[in-house]
Amino acid sequence: MESPAAKRLLPLAFALAFGVIGLSLMHSWRMRQVQALKREEVRLKSFYQEPIQVVVASMDITEGATVEPSMLAMAPVPQKFVQPYSVRATGEVLGLVAAAPIAEGEQMMTNKLRRPEATPVDATLSSVTPKGKRAITIAVDTITGVGGFVRPGDKVDVLWTLKIPGGDQSATLTLFQEVPVLAVGPEIVGKPDQPGGQAAAGPVAVPQSQYIVTLALNPQETSSLLFAREQGRIQLSLRPPQEAGAVPVPPANLNTLMELQLGIKSADQTPRTRQVEVYKGLKRDVVVLADQEQP
């Protein structure tokens, strides 16, 4: 027969054995979990590789804003999360215009930016008119409009031909130089033609031999152009894109053409005058008389 002491130790022995088995199983499970985590860490590291430095917005950028250095920052981004149109250098986006709002921290992507000269499809004439300028429209024909070859985005000189007051001669003056062309007919600068070549809201109809050109001038130049149009004839001269800045152009008339082409200086036809004071009582008048040449 077993002694009472042995009977009391038997449950304790069983509990100790089960405890050892439990600790062994727990240790084995823990080691399997640690090994699984290490394998997952290795897998993730090989999947993401090294982060890539990309350009991000350092602040909220509104639509239509020009990208400046203060708006940009560099940030490391895991390769998996680098966007297809993201850029790696700030110089690639400086000076471009935001075509859509860009949030702070968002990657700078070329599909959300456009060149300054490119105009959104939904742009209006007022939105492409430079600050400080006014859009002024004139009707030209194939002769005064450079044969119809003036296109939106070109630059032109505006010439004015008028009758010289008090005589039968005409003169041509260069009113303005390097004037931007905002639109030709319904076609706005940088904006692609709509199907059929017609805009949603077309311009005022003009004779078929004429077409409409819209220029960008400051307010004073706009008034001068309207006055010149009513007093004479306006013609456009197309400038090459490589040439910038105004050049001195003297007015052209019969005298300047004779001197330029034939080297003949025309005699001054303006009569020489002298002033004579005439007193009638206490009233003084000044009379201008033409000098008579002595034979």
Q: Is the pLDDT of residue 294 over 70?
A: no
Q: How confident is the model at residue 104 (pLDDT cuts 50, 70, 90)?
A: very high
Hey, what are 30's tokens? 């823990």
5 within a domain of the structure (yes/no): no
184 within a domain of the structure (yes/no): yes
Minimum mean pLDDT range among 109-113, 115-119, 154-158 = 115-119
Minimum mean pLDDT range among 16-30, 41-55, 256-270 = 256-270
Q: Is the pLDDT of residue 200 over 50?
A: no
Do 232 and 162 lie in a common domain?
Answer: yes
Do 143 and 236 lie in a common domain?
Answer: yes
pTM of the model: 0.50
Beta bridge partners of 158: 176, 236
Do 145 and 92 lie in a common domain?
Answer: no
Q: Which residue has the higher pLDDT, 104 or 164?
A: 104
Beta bridge partners of 283: 280
Do 236 and 177 lie in a common domain?
Answer: yes
Rg of the chain's alpha carbons, rounded to an integer? 42
Rounded Cα distance between 11 and 24, Å, is: 20
Do 170 and 96 lie in a common domain?
Answer: no
Most confident of 112-116, 218-222, 246-250, 289-293: 218-222
Do 134 and 258 lie in a common domain?
Answer: yes
- Give me the pLDDT at residue 64, please: 78
252 within a domain of the structure (yes/no): yes
Domain boundary among 114, 146, 168: 114
- Give me the pLDDT at residue 169, please: 79
Do 257 and 174 lie in a common domain?
Answer: yes
108 within a domain of the structure (yes/no): yes
Residue 276 · residue 287 · CB < 8 Å: yes
Q: Which residue has the higher pLDDT, 99 or 215?
A: 215
**How many domains in the chain?**
3
**Amino acid identity, residue 102?**
I
- What is the arithmetic mean of pLDDT over 250-262? 70
- What is the arithmetic mean of pLDDT over 227-234? 89
Q: pLDDT tens-digit profile of 34-92? A: 888 888 877 776 666 678 899 999 999 988 788 999 999 999 988 888 888 999 999 99
What is the residue-wise DSSP string for 49-109? -S-EEEEEESS-B-TTPBP-GGGEEEEEE-GGG--TTB-S-GGGTTT-EESS-B-TTPBPB
Do 31 and 91 lie in a common domain?
Answer: no
Rounded Cα distance between 4 and 17, Å, is: 21
Rounded Cα distance between 292 and 87, Å, is: 82
- Give me the pLDDT at residue 295, please: 41
Q: Which residue has the higher pLDDT, 263 or 234?
A: 234
Range of the domain at 243: 125-262
Hey, what are 54's tokens? 């990309």
162 within a domain of the structure (yes/no): yes
Do 200 and 251 lie in a common domain?
Answer: yes
119 within a domain of the structure (yes/no): no
**Amino acid identity, residue 150?**
V
CATH number of the domain to which 66 belongs: 3.90.1210.10
Hey, what are 83's tokens? 């966007």
**Amino acid identity, residue 168?**
D
- Give me the pLDDT at residue 142, please: 81
Do 28 and 136 lie in a common domain?
Answer: no
168 within a domain of the structure (yes/no): yes
Count CB-CB contacts under 10 A for residue 37. Answer: 10
Percent of the chain with pLDDT over 90: 25
- Give me the pLDDT at residue 108, please: 94
285 within a domain of the structure (yes/no): no
Do 104 and 160 lie in a common domain?
Answer: no
Do 78 and 109 lie in a common domain?
Answer: yes
